[in-house]
């Protein structure tokens, strides 16, 4: 029991991570890149090395752009615990948009936009999972009751 408790706590690990954001829109040819930034207290999933709550990081960039008159942007975050790999990803992605010349590439410096680290809330995740299980169970019971109600009575 104790081992399983320790194992469940070791799902996420705080790691210094390097990240940058990218935003594009289908409505125009302007794309945005943030600088590669150091996230001192980012959390990575130990199993698959994914950034925890990476969707919330991309929402930070999306919300910043919307506040500055550039709504409806599709935003992503690219990250790596290795600085060289992060810069390699940045160079590769930016080269796709600068070499063709069809895009208006704009850079957001760290003075303009900075990611805020997000702390995972594992108890909330566990509660959300329990709520989902309870909802599925309730839906199953309702389907079964509806199926039984639709049957003709036995003679």
Residue 128 has pLDDT above 70, yes or no: no
pTM: 0.69
Q: Which token pair is 68?
A: 């500055």
Partner residues linked to 20 by β-bridges: 78
* Burial of 64 per CB tally in 10 Å (0-12, 13-18, 19+): buried
Q: What are 78-117's pLDDT values in tens digits?
A: 999 999 999 999 999 999 998 877 899 999 999 999 999 9
- Domain ranges for the chain, please list them: 11-119, 121-155
Share of the chain above pLDDT 90, in %: 57
Q: Which of 118, 94, 120, 124 is nearest to 33 (CA)?
A: 94
**pLDDT tens figures, 1-32:** 444 444 445 488 999 999 999 999 989 999 99
Q: Where are the alpha helices (DSSP H) in the chain?
A: 2-9, 54-67, 83-98, 122-150
């Amino acid at each position: 029991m104790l081992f399983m408790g320790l194992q469940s706590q070791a799902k996420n690990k705080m790691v210094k991570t390097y990240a940058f954001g990218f935003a594009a829109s289908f409505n125009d040819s302007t794309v945005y890149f943030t600088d590669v930034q150091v996230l001192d207290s980012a959390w990575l999933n130990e199993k698959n090395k994914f950034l925890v709550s990476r969707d919330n990081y991309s929402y930070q960039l999306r919300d910043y752009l919307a506040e500055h008159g550039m709504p409806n942007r599709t935003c992503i975050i690219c990250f790596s615990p290795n600085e060289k790999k992060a810069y390699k990803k940045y160079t590769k992605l930016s080269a796709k948009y600068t070499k063709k010349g069809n895009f208006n590439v704009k850079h957001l410096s760290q003075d303009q936009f900075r990611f805020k680290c997000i702390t995972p809330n594992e108890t909330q995740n566990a509660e959300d999972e329990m709520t989902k299980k309870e909802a599925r169970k309730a839906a199953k019971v309702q389907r079964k009751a509806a199926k039984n109600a639709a049957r003709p009575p036995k003679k």
